[in-house]
Amino acid sequence: MKKLLCVLCVLALMIPALSLAELDEEELEIEEFDLDAGVPAEKAVWDFPVALEDMNPEYIILANKHYLLDKNYVPKDLVKVPSKPADGGIKWAVKPKGGQLLRKECAEALCAMNQAIRDDAPEYGYKDLYLKSAYRSYSTQKTMYNNRLKKNHGKDDGWVSKPGASDHQTGLGCDVVPKNWANKAMNDKMMKEPECQWMAEHCYEFGFIIRYPEDKQDITEINTEPWHLRYVGIPVATYIWENNLCLEEFTEQLQEAIQEYLDAGGDRSKVEAFIQEPTEE
Ligand SMILES: [Zn+2]
């Protein structure tokens, strides 16, 4: 009984401490909260290591045999890559009809990268980089694929992608080789060239990744190609480089993050452009 009296006394002392105004505010908040709306949108946070504002959905588009590009897909803002290194360009190993084309931002990044290796050349003896292949249309890829099949008696040897599956159709994929490989058939021995090692280490600083790394062949399903660079933008390239991923793994992580964000009540309009789904076989 004594104890109960004490508790009552303490409570009586506490009540005046809570002002009436405070109580009113709390009541109002409870009334405003709409139970039917579920989790409020501000509770869903984008906690993927790369911010949405740091990614351009068009630059991280995945093209492979499971994610085929439409035959009518032509990237916008294709520009002719400048070919004079003295003017900040990069030499072309091959001059296709119409020139070597890449998306504008990618072309600029490639030229900046070539300038950087040229700046390092006096100290390390690097040879010039040559652009061997850039944008390829769906129909060009189709011709190349069929020619390769003919040469191999109908067998797909994994060196030329199917039409729609080529990274070159994105306008962000390019084959870049050291000078002494400019006129040679490419193979993975090129990896030993100091220029290729430089590219593997530094290309992310310019927004590129090595699209088909040696240790990811089971995931990319493409033979290693130390010459094939893919532009994704600097923040994504840095994340991929730091975590030793390939674009397929990055896409999987990103799609999972999008799903989690949406499941938590996130704003669909913010992530819609980043959603990618495999093409139906
Ligand atoms: Zn390539």
Q: Are 234 and 204 spatial neighbours (Cβ–Cβ below 8 Å)?
A: yes
**Residue 36: predicted pLDDT:** 52
Predicted confidence (pLDDT) per residue in 3-59, tens digit = 555 454 444 555 444 444 454 554 445 445 555 555 554 679 999 999 999 999 999
Which of 28-42, 170-184, 267-281 shows the lowest mean pLDDT across its residues?
A: 28-42
Predicted confidence (pLDDT) per residue in 112-171, tens digit = 999 999 999 989 999 999 999 999 999 999 999 999 999 999 998 878 889 999 999 999
- Whether 177 has a pLDDT exceeding 50, the answer reads yes
**Residue 11: predicted pLDDT:** 47
Q: How far apart are the first and last CA of the chain?
A: 79
**Residue 281: predicted pLDDT:** 66
The CA radius of gyration of the chain, in Å to the nearest whole number, is: 28
Q: How far is the CA of 173 from the centre of ligand 1 (A)?
A: 6
- Whether 78 has a pLDDT exceeding 90, the answer reads yes
- Whether 74 has a pLDDT exceeding 60, the answer reads yes
Q: List, in order, residues 6 or more apart from 43 with CB less than 8 Å away.
A: 264, 265
Q: How far is the CA of 175 from the centre of ligand 1 (A)?
A: 5
Q: List, in order, residues 6 or more apart from 34 with CB less than 8 Å away.
A: none
Q: List, in order, residues 6 or more apart from 197 with CB less than 8 Å away.
A: 191
Q: What is the dihedral of CA 264, 267, 271, 276, to 10 degrees?
A: 60
**Residue 129: predicted pLDDT:** 96
**Residue 191: predicted pLDDT:** 93
Q: How far is the CA of 229 from the centre of ligand 1 (A)?
A: 7
Predicted confidence (pLDDT) per residue in 186-240, tens digit = 999 999 999 999 999 999 999 999 999 999 999 999 999 999 999 999 999 999 9
Protein fold of 72-243:
Muramoyl-pentapeptide Carboxypeptidase; domain 2 (3.30.1380)
Question: Considering only CA atoms, which of 50, 56, 62, 59 is closest in space to residue 261?
Answer: 50
**Residue 3: predicted pLDDT:** 57
Q: How far is the CA of 36 from the centre of ligand 1 (A)?
A: 52
Q: How far is the CA of 243 from the centre of ligand 1 (A)?
A: 23
CB neighbourhood size of 27 (10 A): 10
pTM comes to 0.83
- Between CA 165 and CA 138 the distance in angstroms is 9
Q: How far is the CA of 212 from the centre of ligand 1 (A)?
A: 9
**Residue 218: predicted pLDDT:** 96
Q: How far is the CA of 105 from the centre of ligand 1 (A)?
A: 18
**Residue 244: predicted pLDDT:** 98
Helix intervals (H) in the chain: 2-14, 20-32, 104-124, 138-151, 194-202, 217-220, 234-242, 247-263, 268-271
Q: How far is the CA of 64 from the centre of ligand 1 (A)?
A: 12
